[in-house]
Amino acid sequence: MKQHLTFLGLESSCDDTAAAVVRVGPDGAQILSSVVAGQTELHAPFGGVVPEIAARAHAEKLDLCVEEALAESGLGLRDLDGIAVTAGPGLIGGVMSGVMCAKGLAAGSGLPLIGVNHLAGHALTPRLTDDLAFPYLMLLVSGGHCQFLIAHGPEEFSRLGGTIDDAPGEAFDKTAKLLGLPQPGGPVVEAEAAQGDPKAFAFPRPLLDRPGCDMSFSGLKTALLRARDAVVVEHGGLPRQVRRDLCASFQAAVRDTLAEKSRRALVQYLDLNPAQPSFAVAGGVAANKAIRAALETVSAEMGVAFTAPPLRLCTDNAAMIAFAGIERFRTGARDGMDLTARPRWPLDQSAPALLGSGKKGAKA
Ligand code: KG4
Ligand code: ZN
């Protein structure tokens, strides 16, 4: 096998169209370019991601993103060793756009094609950024998914637990919607929360009374809706400071739940892997500073090394897909022109299916 492997990655499973070029060699991984074209303004009037609009926008933008990523990397297709593409899970129209685009590029250039599980892309990101050795415990927390995974290898994951309904990012997005704030909700709610009192409202910390590390966030959303309605009745509207307090109290509930469940997942993980005390987080919600800090504290208390990728690599991007493609390629995996787009694709095939479906259809 060549010392250096350079892959183009494509990502289009939700509402970001992305292309990136990543090179992996003996001294680690290098992101040569990473282009992300968001679709926030296209979906804004609808208060959430509209699958058909997303799919059309991906089909329009993918070629441009690929051109830009190649130009930025200073490479042409002939300098590459392969093409990696998100083949699921996600919104099927968008995933299909990406897979078709990748097939066209692979057929035209003769390069190998590698289908990548989007969740594996997130879960392997700490290896891209920090060269983290297997195994490690991973909390994958975004708009479509929330699960604790032990990463044993590029395609080997075991799930310790996950959300049984909404994902936390989805709860952040719904909270923003209920409070009249723009999408995506996470960053806006975080900004509002920074100026609010996290103790102003006593929101539930769901499933903390039950053992294990499964989670639930839909009740929290209902509690927020009730609190908002009570405030509106009392004040005849939603005063700015109360909105900030609602955001801060909501964020604190998510933070406390994730921190306590991480502690429990770490106990289970360390029992199985005492020699490798390593915990990493990825996914859009990992961009939240309060949540990152809480996870860092839990890790420090338990004597575990904590890795959180830089924010731009926590949210959806194609560098993680190119990298995960290289990791799969190195195990000997290859896909053909029969590669299919999969709306659902659990990382741990042996674990029972989680109940929730999530607004982005990306849960597994
Ligand atoms: O991983 P990602 O880009 O897309 C998938 O869901 O796969 O994550 C996007 C999600 C959105 O729900 C967004 O509101 C949330 O991550 N998010 C945040 C923050 N930044 C993004 N949630 C909380 N705090 C943030 N700062
Ligand atoms: Zn994602």
The predicted structure's pLDDT at residue 353: 67
Query: Who has greater pLDDT, 351 or 240?
Result: 240
Q: What percent of the chain has pLDDT over 90?
A: 79
Angle (deg, nearest 10), helices 240-272 and 168-178: 170
Atom index in ligand 1 nearest the CA of residue 13 equals 7
> By three-state DSSP, how is residue 149 classified?
strand
Q: How far is the CA of 131 from the centre of ligand 2 (A)?
A: 20
Nearest ligand, CA 39: 1
Q: How far is the CA of 133 from the centre of ligand 1 (A)?
A: 26
Ligand 1 pocket test: pick from 119, 125, 179, 315 the residue with the most ligand atoms within 8 Å of its Cβ: 315
Per the CB < 8 A criterion, the answer to whether 324 and 116 are in contact is: yes
Contacts of 51 (CB under 8 A, 6+ apart): 91, 92, 93, 94, 361
Nearest ligand, CA 173: 1
Residues in a beta bridge with 84: 9, 114
Quick: pLDDT tens for 155-202: 999 999 999 999 999 999 999 999 999 988 999 999 999 999 999 999
Nearest ligand, CA 282: 1
Quick: pLDDT tens for 44-68: 777 778 888 888 888 889 999 999 9
Q: How far is the CA of 207 from the centre of ligand 1 (A)?
A: 22
* pLDDT value at 2 more than 90: no
The predicted structure's pLDDT at residue 360: 45
Per the CB < 8 A criterion, the answer to whether 224 and 166 are in contact is: no
Contacts of 210 (CB under 8 A, 6+ apart): none
Q: How far is the CA of 121 from the centre of ligand 2 (A)?
A: 8
* Model pTM score: 0.91
At 300, phi and psi to the nearest 5?
Answer: -60, -45
Binding-site residues, ligand 1, Cβ < 6 A:
14, 142-144, 169-170, 172-173, 184-187, 190, 283-285, 287-288, 315-316, 360, 362
> What residue owns the CA closest to ligand 1's atom 22?
186
Query: Who has greater pLDDT, 156 or 362?
Result: 156
Of 10, 5, 11, which Cα lies nearest the Cα of 24? 5
Kindly report the three-state secondary structure assignment for every residue of 36-102.
Answer: EEECHHHHHHHCCCCHHHHHHHHHHHHHHHHHHHHHHHCCCHHHCCEEEEEEECCCHHHHHHHHHHH
> What residue owns the CA closest to ligand 1's atom 23?
186
Quick: pLDDT tens for 196-237: 999 999 999 988 888 899 999 999 999 999 999 999 999 999
* pLDDT value at 334 more than 70: yes
Average pLDDT in the 96-110 region? 97
Cis omega before residue 182 (within 30°)? Answer: no
